[in-house]
Amino acid sequence: MISLPNQPKPSAKRNHARPWIHHVLWVSTLFWAPAWSVTQPAGCGRVCELYGDLLMAPERDLIGSIRTLEKVAKPAVGPRNTRGRWIQRDAYIGTETFDTTFYVKSGLVQRIELVSNAPDAQCRARTPWSDTIAALEAWQGKQATNGQFDTGNSVQQSVQWASDNLDVSVYLSITEAACSTAVVFKKHDAKDASEL
C-alpha cells in the first residue's frame, strides 16, 4: 500500500461504523418498503397514461420518455404500413408484465401493442386476461364492447374501451398450440357516415 503525505490513516472506529449504518439502512428499508408499495396506484396507472399520451407523438418524444426502450434490429411490419421499431420489456399493467412494441409511421407513434409474458399455463387459466381487464376497468371504467368466438379447440376473445381520442383493446387467443394475451393502444378512428 502506498501512503501519500498529509493523508489521514484509516480509522478502526470508522470501519466499525460502516456495517452498523448499512444494517440500519437495510432494516429501515424492510419497514418502509411495504408501506411504499401499498401507496402505489393499482391498475394501469402511469403506464396507460404515458402510452395514451405517446400516440401520434413524434418518435423523438417516445425515445425521450422511456429509458428502457430498445431499438429493434429488424422492425416488425404492423397494420397500415407501420413499423415496430422500438420495444420495452416488462411493462406492468396491474400485476401482469408485458413486452411492448411501438409502431411508427411518418415519424409518429401510431400504435402500441403489448404481449403478455405469462407462462402458457397461466394464460390458459386466463389469469393475465382477467387481471388486465380489471386493471383497465379501474383506469377507463367498464368496457364498451366485447366479443367471443369459441370452437372448442380454439377461443378468441376481445374487450374494447373507446374514448374521444383513444381505443384500448385486449385480445385473448387460445389454440391447442399456443395461448396469448395482448393489449393494443391506438388513436380512436371516428368516422362519420360520409366516410363509409
Taking only the tens place, the pLDDT of each residue in 107-124 is: 999 999 999 999 999 999
Residue type, 179: C
- Looking at residue 163, its pLDDT comes to 80
Confidence of residue 5 (pLDDT cuts 50, 70, 90): low
Confidence of residue 152 (pLDDT cuts 50, 70, 90): confident
Region of poorest pLDDT, from 19-23, 79-83, 155-159, 179-183? 19-23
Of 3.30.1380, 3.60.40, 3.40.1000, 3.30.70, which CATH number belongs to 45-189? 3.40.1000
- Looking at residue 26, its pLDDT comes to 42
Q: Give me the long-range contacts of 68-75 (CB less than 8 A, separation at least 24).
A: 69/102, 72/101
What value does the CA radius of gyration of the chain take, rounded to a whole number of Å?
Answer: 24
Mean pLDDT of the chain: 80
Place of cell 404492423: 78
8 A C-beta contact, residue 47 and residue 54: no
Q: How far apart are CA 149 and CA 103, in angstroms?
A: 27
Taking only the tens place, the pLDDT of each residue in 39-96 is: 334 567 788 889 999 999 999 999 999 999 999 999 999 999 999 999 999 999 988 9
- Looking at residue 188, its pLDDT comes to 80
8 A C-beta contact, residue 85 and residue 104: yes
- Looking at residue 53, its pLDDT comes to 92
Percent of the chain with pLDDT over 70: 74
SS3 content of the chain, % helix, strand, coil (to 5): 35, 35, 30
Residue type, 44: C
- Looking at residue 145, its pLDDT comes to 80
Put simply, whether the predicted model's pTM sits higher than 0.75 gets the answer no
